Amino acid sequence: MSKKIVVGVDFSNCSLNALEHAVLIAQKAGAGITMVWANHLDYSKEIFSLEPENLQDEVKNRFQELIKHHGVKLKDNSIDYRVATGKVYKVICDVATEVDAFLVIIGTHGSSGFEEFWIGSNANRIVSASKLPILTIRAGVNSEKTLKTIVMPFDSTRVTRQKLPITALLANYFDAEIHILGLYTSSLDDVRFRIKNYVAQAESYLKENNIRFRTIYLEAENITDTVLDYAKNVDANLIAIMTEQETTTANLWLGPYAAQMVNHSPIPVLSVHPDKNSYVI
């Protein structure tokens, strides 16, 4: 079975931009794409000026146009679509599981008047609900700009290492450089030693896989702000995070950490859900 990327498409400019990014990654990975549209009455009427009985036909026509446009860029024209009725996040997660996708890509802004609905609900729900890596891309990110610099923060949690394989895979596809950020959130020696140890493991992994990297250690009172500031300064194209993060006094959102990154990062974010039963890189 070939690799699959699932893309949430609601036909807003944002989701079409996410699709452009998916095509770029699919070309490098030799992967196919499955586009997914969920018929959800809360926003369908915002996008289409159509009677409900004509909606399905319009959606299928638009998908056929997208297949015609993007199919020529992909090996064997391997792009298809699914149309389903239900909650957006559940439909996308279900399809991604069904096709055994290795990556899900979604936009986090729309241009059709329902931005807060999409950001506040679907993007974060997909990140929370899916066991698969989720790449979220805000509106305005240039899909023609190749992936050159990836920021990958490490904290003291055991699961922090689990984002390494998929991040390294994407770096390998684009010959990108990974910036390993060792984030010191405590002055305790054992915590700082643990972070250094995890970073050293990541360095060994990247060396073995011939992936370019550099390592930086930073004091981080607020993890989200520290990562975003660094990523902006180095003009990063991607930030790779775990959906769960170490808690600090100034960073008390263990659960909402990924939501903060997804909502506030102008840079695409790769969110990886931890497998609590596996700590091996």
Which pLDDT tens digit goes with each residue over 47-83? 555 555 667 788 899 999 999 999 988 877 699 999 9
Location of structure tokens 């995890």 = 198
Q: What is the pLDDT of residue 119?
A: 42
Where among 115, 137, 159 does a domain terminate? 137
In-domain check, residue 181: yes
Output 158 or 4, whichever has higher pLDDT. 4
The beta strand positions in the chain, using DSSP E, are 4-8, 32-39, 79-85, 103-107, 134-137, 149-154, 177-184, 213-219, 238-242, 269-272
Short-list 6, 11, 10, 8, CA closest to 31:
6
Residue that finishes a domain, picked among 137, 160, 181: 137
119 plus 212 within the same structural domain: no
Residue 278 lies in a domain: no
Sign of the four-CA dihedral 215, 221, 224, 229: negative
pLDDT of residue 277: 66
Region 95-122 average pLDDT: 69
Residues in the chain: 281
Tell me the residue range of the domain where 58 lies. 4-137
Domain count for the chain, please give it.
2
Q: The pTM is what?
A: 0.88
Q: Which residues of 33-69 are buried (b: 16+ CB within 10 A; e: fewer)?
A: bbbbbbbbeebbeebbeeeeeebeeebeebbeebbee
Examine residue 240 and state whether it is found in any structural domain, yes or no: yes
For the cut 60, the answer to whether the pLDDT of residue 118 exceeds it is no
Is 236 inside any structural domain? yes
Sorted by sequence, the CB contacts under 8 Å of residue 157 that are 6+ apart come out as: 242, 244, 245, 246
User: Residues 26-44: pLDDT tens digits?
Assistant: 999 999 999 999 886 554 4
Say which residue, 245 or 94, is predicted with more confidence. Answer: 94
Write the Ramachandran bin of 100: left for phi over 0, alpha for psi from -120 to 50, otherwise beta.
left
Kindly state whether residue 142 falls inside one of the protein's structural domains. no
Q: Is residue 143 part of a domain?
A: no
Q: Does the residue 169 lie in any domain?
A: yes
pLDDT given at position 76: 76
Residue 18's CB: how many other CB atoms inside 10 A? 28
CATH number at residue 267: 3.40.50.620
Q: Is the dihedral of CA 228, 234, 238, 240 positive or negative?
A: negative
Better pLDDT: 207 or 222: 207
Residues 112 and 177 in one domain: no
Q: Give the pLDDT of residue 68.
A: 92
Same domain assignment for residues 122 and 175: no
Does 280 fall in a domain?
no
Q: Say yes or no: 245 and 164 in one domain.
A: yes
Shared-domain flag, residues 246 and 203: yes
Indicate if 8 and 120 belong to the same structural domain.
yes
Asked whether the beta carbons of 274 and 244 are under 8 A apart, the reply is yes
Tell me: do 162 and 200 sit in the same domain: yes
CA–CA separation, 91 and 87 (whole Å): 6
Same-domain status, 77 and 123? yes
pLDDT of 10 strictly over 80: yes
Per-residue pLDDT averaged across 249-259, rounded? Answer: 52
Answer yes or no: is pLDDT of 250 > 70: no
Which of these ranges, 102-106, 111-115, 148-152, 193-197, has the smallest mean pLDDT?
111-115
Final residue belonging to a domain, choices 114, 137, 160: 137
Residues 133 and 15 in one domain: yes
How confident is the model at residue 112, as a pLDDT? 42
Q: Where does the pLDDT of residue 189 fall: very low under 50, low under 70, confident under 90, or very high at 90 and above?
A: very high
